[in-house]
Amino acid sequence: MHLRWTSFEELPLHQLYELLAFRQRVFIVEQASPYMDLDGKDAACWHLLVRDRPGGALIGCARACGPVGAEPAFLGRIVVAPEARGTGLGRRLVTEGLRWLSIHHPRQDVRLSAQIHLEDFYGDFGFVREGDPYSDGGIPHVTMWRRTGQALAA
């Protein structure tokens, strides 16, 4: 497995296209959820691309962003390819995202928008639901926060 963080500006066009197509394949097609994946936040984020080997197939991704204006630090667009599910890659993506945020934006609360069936998964990392469930593209979601001072789970 090969993990690499890159800024939006450093993504070559073919890798940007690959990343966006990968997210679309899972979030929009597989989950039958028509929503705006291109939310205008990618340019401010750092992107974690996980390949099965250096130069190989994209099997996972996530994005992390420090606070920007009134927006808090956040972690999101966490995706694992169907063929890589059940391998622990999802946990690795969250761990790496939180590690990146702790290095580049220490002592910042972190927000994420979680599909409601993944609430316990994110809870293992110290995230706590705040607020009521809402629909995002027809899928129930909750806003979750990992407040400053909470230890990183493994």
Instruction: Give the number of domains in the chain.
Output: 1
Sequence-distant (6+) residues with CB within 8 A of 73 are 64, 65, 66, 67, 101, 105, 108, 109, 110, 111
Look at residue 68 in the predicted model and tell me its pLDDT: 82
Q: Is 151 contained in some domain? A: no
Digits of tens for pLDDT over the chain (154 positions)? Answer: 899 999 999 999 999 999 999 889 888 887 777 777 788 889 999 999 999 999 999 999 999 999 987 789 999 999 999 999 999 999 999 999 999 999 999 999 999 999 999 999 999 999 999 999 999 888 999 999 999 855 554 4
Question: Do residues 19 and 47 touch, judged by C-beta distance below 8 A?
Answer: yes
Look at residue 37 in the predicted model and tell me its pLDDT: 77
Q: Is 154 contained in some domain? A: no
Q: Is 127 contained in some domain? A: yes
Look at residue 154 in the predicted model and tell me its pLDDT: 44
Question: Which domain CATH number covers 20?
Answer: 3.40.630.30
CB-count exposure of residue 103 (10 Å: 0-12, 13-18, 19+): exposed
* Residue 91: domain span: 2-146
Considering the entire predicted model, what is its pTM? 0.89
